[in-house]
Amino acid sequence: MSKPENEMTSTHERTTAETPEGPAEVSEGLAGAPQGPGGAREGLAGTPQGLAGIPQGVAGSPQGPGGAREGLAGTPQGLAGIPQGVAGTPEGLSGTPEGVAEAPQGPAGAPEAVAEAPQPGGAPEGVAEAPQGPAGAPEGVAETPQEPGGAQEGVADAPGGVVVNPRSDARDAHPRAHCAIDADGRITFRLPPAATPHPQLLLRLRPKKGRPETTLHLLDLEPDRADGHLHAVLEPHRALDEGRWDVYLLPEPGAERRRLRPGLRDLRTLVDGHLRDRPSPVAVRIPYVTKDGFLALRAWRRTAHAEARAIGIENRALTVTARLHGAELHEDATVRLRLRGTDTVRTLRPRADDDGKGFSFTAGPGDLTADGGGAGRIWDLFVCPTAGATPIRVARLLDDVADRKHVHVYPAVEADGSAFRPYYTVDNDLAIEVR
């Protein structure tokens, strides 16, 4: 079925050739993904039945970008909500075989430059602590999470629900940990039996480049009576500061910590997370795999949050639909477009739903190109629930995608001699680039 002209699509629905060119905006992990029968990505709709008991695709599964999303709602449950019989699933279900994670594939399967190589626009990646916007424009000061060695965090898995990581390499000395998250944000970790009497799980907030680590959380690992496997629970009330948390095994107190590889990650409860209203503060945590193949958590903690959903085009203008969590809209609510790096602000009037939570707004060429500004400008989006209230960032956090920037990539809209397009930052915040 052809799409209406006024509907904006992401790269889940567009090939790389159709996507406008722009540095760091190619949807990594899509073009180079393994292909199954009929061209379908392995592990999705085209996956043949019988692989580790995973069904071929549930018709009623939650939808994601580009149409039907192959959820696994019918997958048999195991301990801690983990489907049974998945540990030996063939490679391809996670999207990337082990050992290839450090060289992500770009369009047509060509490997990208090494992580330490200079980025488009001339900014070296080792200095990428300031997140990069389109065309290399810095997004903020010292916000980009760094991988060991200074490499910027890579793209997480495409939306799915249950993610099976590649099979273990016998030469890899790092232990693996399965994890499952429930609707309340409670994460259960499961590890193989240990020979030491008091093992612990250590969570470390990744420090900004050049700064020492300051925030650690320890969780006791308890053995299961049935098989001796270890488990630890990160409860929802355990507040995690916003950022990226690396996960380690501490064999015993005072011992050297060991980084963990990811096993099965059951994220099904996150897929439709945007449908549940969240109280203040809004806390989000998503287990994901780092660029160098280790288990980590992406966490957000905000007093209130405006969850972006649909982004469309109407009369050469961008229309954004969103929902407020942790606050309510009043009659004097406003949407603010703030020109990054300046004090310039454009104020728009939102169209609010009857429940005071849902709203939409439209930004046209006049809102984004007024005052004769040049190309390369970036507008950050906020909503103020009432006059004088603290602006709330418009972002997309409430699902299973930890790194959205290279997953949802939108085309540019040309109007009055300029082109503008929405994009998600490295923190999954919504912004608009003018070029």
* Prediction pTM value: 0.64
DSSP 342: S
Report the pLDDT value the prediction gives residue 371, as an integer from 0 to 100.
Answer: 62
Rounded distance, CA 78 to CA 76, Å?
7
How sure is the predictor about 164, in pLDDT bands with cuts at 50, 70 and 90? low
Report the pLDDT value the prediction gives residue 270, as an integer from 0 to 100.
Answer: 97
Q: What is the mean pLDDT of residues 185-204?
A: 94
Question: Greater confidence, 200 or 166?
Answer: 200
Residue 97 contacts by C-beta under 8 Å, 6 or more apart in sequence? 91, 166
The CATH code of domain 305-434 reads 2.60.40
1.10.3470, 1.10.4160, 2.60.40, 3.30.470: which CATH number matches 162-302? 2.60.40
The answer to whether the 162-302 and 305-434 domains have the same CATH topology is: yes
Contact at 8 Å (CB) between 324 and 335? no
Bond into 281 cis (ω within 30):
yes
**Exposure string for 350-384, b = 16+ CB within 10 A, e = fewer:** bebeeeebbbbbbbbbebbbeeeeeeebbbbbbbb
Contact at 8 Å (CB) between 409 and 11? yes
Burial of 15 (0-12, 13-18, 19+ CB in 10 A): exposed
3-state secondary structure of 286: strand
Q: Would you kindly state where each structural domain of the chain is located, as residue ranges?
A: 162-302, 305-434
Taking only the tens place, the pLDDT of each residue in 60-79 is: 444 444 444 443 334 444 43
Pair of tokens at residue 6:
């006024």
